[in-house]
Amino acid sequence: MVFVNENLIQSAVLIACSLVSISKAIKYKSRTWSLLSFFYGCWLIDDVYWMLYALFFDGKTPTLSVLSDLNWYASYVFLYFLIRQVAPPYTRRETRVIPWLAFVFTFSMAAFYMQWGEVLSNLIYANLIGLLLFSVIRRLMDLDDYRDILLLCAVSLFFVAFEYGLWTASCFWREDSLFNPYYWFDALLTLSFPFFIAATAKAVRS
Amino acid sequence: MSYIENIYVCLAAPILLAIMLLRREARGSLAFTLMGMTSCLLSAYVSSFAAGAAGLGLAEASLEIAPVVEEVMKSLPILFYLLVFAPRKGDAIRGTIMVSVGFATFENVCFLTSYGTEDLLRLLIRGFGTGAMHVTCGMVVAIGLFFLWDRAWLRVVGGFALLCFVIRFHSIYNLLVNGSGPVFWIGSAIPLTFILVYMIAFRSSVRIS
């Protein structure tokens, strides 16, 4: 029951965020706001799918997790494109080690999650989130050039942190109660969605 | 049991003749319609095989396997057209819509032969609903590909993301129209609403010429 209620709240927040970003995309005919709309839309549509699936099949979850998470993969792709879209082109030529640690982190976590989840699904997440973190960290390291998108990068980092918190919690706590840390992280994830609008607006204004 | 390949032959034959007789845009539109119908036929085979291989029942396969296979198969003719002919935006978007129309038409005909033709109201809703769903999915992919990204590699990754989006949209549609009563009505109304919103809000800003 907590799962459905929590999903309903997240869906409501996402619907509100989607409407705001779609209206801005139409008003300004903006690619940036369209990308944000797709990010919200993808997350929302997978939330709705999981919720409906659970309702129609008596609490069961989709069987093939590689396919059932498709839109959450797509959300990360759109978030990556959003950051690319609002940030000035990255021009530095020298190779740095620290951004690559993003992939070390995501693949290590994927290896850990593979004890419970599917291999392919975890590898896809590791690649996509690794790419997103790589892009964010690289820009944060050159803060002078990318000060305008600092808020967007920070929100993205928090978003990914909450997502990893949620996944890690789901490995150890399974009960459908509010005392499960999974729901705390999911609540934080829900709260972080509106901040993307503020961060994108700031980046676009700059 | 329906022999869908026989239905396909009957429907495809006049279209094929028309393609040979017509020229330019009319020929292109009919060719895309035929490609859509062919994609539908092939996706029925692939879906059945994949569902059998994954050990899924009919209901689960229609939600988890069929949308993935159908949307991927539907995008293949358009990908071929984009890569080989490098068409103008308007031509590519028109082609995508015609592939979707062909796909939806063939799917509806197969549905008619399997479930009968007695209930006109339900068929009317299904006809518009399925048509709108396939056209919406095709349009999202086509418009997204052309208006959101301007470089080839961005289109490839972005195309994957858009495909994911339409696959899930398709899954939710299948989930709802498999229900009865208000659930069926809501499921059928969602893609129609998208088409109406597009016609009202976007038509002026994203013109398909």
Domains of chain A: which residue ranges?
A: 2-205
Task: With CB atoms and an 8 Å threshold, state whether B56 touches A63.
Answer: yes
Query: Would you state the pLDDT for residue B208?
Result: 43
> Which pLDDT score is estimated for B209?
39
- pLDDT value for A112: 94
Number of domains in chain B: 1
In a domain, B40, yes or no: yes
Inform me whether the pLDDT recorded for A92 exceeds 80: no
Regarding predicted confidence, which is higher, B86 or B50?
B50
Residue A122: what residue type?
N
What pLDDT is attached to residue A196?
Answer: 94
Q: What's the pLDDT score for residue A186? A: 92
Identify whether B48 is part of a domain: yes
> Is B158 part of any domain?
yes
**Which residues from chain B sit within 8 angstroms of residue A81, using beta carbons?**
148-149, 154, 157-158, 161
- Domain annotation covers residue B209: no
Out of A141-145, A166-170, B64-68, which region has the weakest mean confidence (pLDDT)? A141-145
CB contact under 8 A, A74 and B157: no
CA dist B111 and B120 (Å) reads 13
User: Chain A residues with CB inside 8 Å of B149's CB?
Assistant: 81
Please indicate, yes or no, whether the overall pTM of this predicted structure exceeds 0.80.
yes
Judge whether residue A98 has pLDDT over 50: yes
Kindly state the tokens that stand for B71: 């949307």
Percent helix, strand, coil in chain A (nearest 5)? Answer: 80, 0, 20
Position B207 in a domain:
no
Average pLDDT value for chain A: 88
B64 vs A56: CB contact, 8 Å cut-off? no
Instruction: Confirm whether B53 is domain-assigned.
Output: yes
pLDDT tens profile B16-33:
999 999 887 788 899 999
Mutate to test the interface with A, among B143, B166, B171, B193 (most CBs of A within 10 A): B171
B165 in any annotated domain: yes
**Is residue B83 pLDDT above 50, yes or no?**
yes
B173-192 pLDDT, tens digit each? 988 888 888 888 888 888 88
Minimal Cα distance from B154: which residue of A? A81
Compute the half-sphere exposure of residue B150: CA atoms within 13 Å on the CB side of its CA: 3
CB A33 within 8 A of CB A24: yes
Give A11 or B114, the one with higher predicted confidence. A11
Both tokens of residue B112?
């008619």
For A49, which of B54, B171, B202 is closest by C-beta distance? B171
Q: Please report the pLDDT score of residue B123 as a whole number.
A: 84
Instruction: Give the residue-averaged pLDDT of B153-163.
Output: 78
Interhelix angle for A70-86 vs A181-205, to 10°?
A: 30
Give the pLDDT score at B119. 82
**Angle formed by the axes of helices A70-86 and B152-177, nearest 10°:** 140
Residues B103-129 have pLDDT tens digits of 999 998 988 888 888 888 888 888 888
Contacts (Cβ under 8 Å, ≥6 apart) of B116:
none
For residue B77, the one-letter residue type is: P
Name the residue range of residue B193's domain: 4-202
Chain A contact set for B175 (CB, 8 A): 49, 52-53, 56
Distance CA A41, CA A43 (A): 6
Enumerate residues 73 to 132 of chain B having a beta carbon within 8 A of any beta carbon in chain A.
none
- How confident is the model over A61-91, as pLDDT tens digits? 888 777 888 889 989 998 998 998 888 777 7
B72 within some domain: yes
Write a three-state SS string for chain B.
Answer: CCCHHHHHHHHHHHHHHHHHHCCHHHHHHHHHHHHHHHHHHHHHHHHHHHHHHHCCCHHHHHHHCHHHHHHHHHHHHHHHHHHHHCCCHHHHHHHHHHHHHHHHHHHHHHHHHHHCCCCHHHHHHHHHHHHHHHHHHHHHHHHHHHHHCCCHHHHHHHHHHHHHHHHHHHHHHHHHHCCCCHHHHHHHHHHHHHHHHHHHHHCCCCCCC
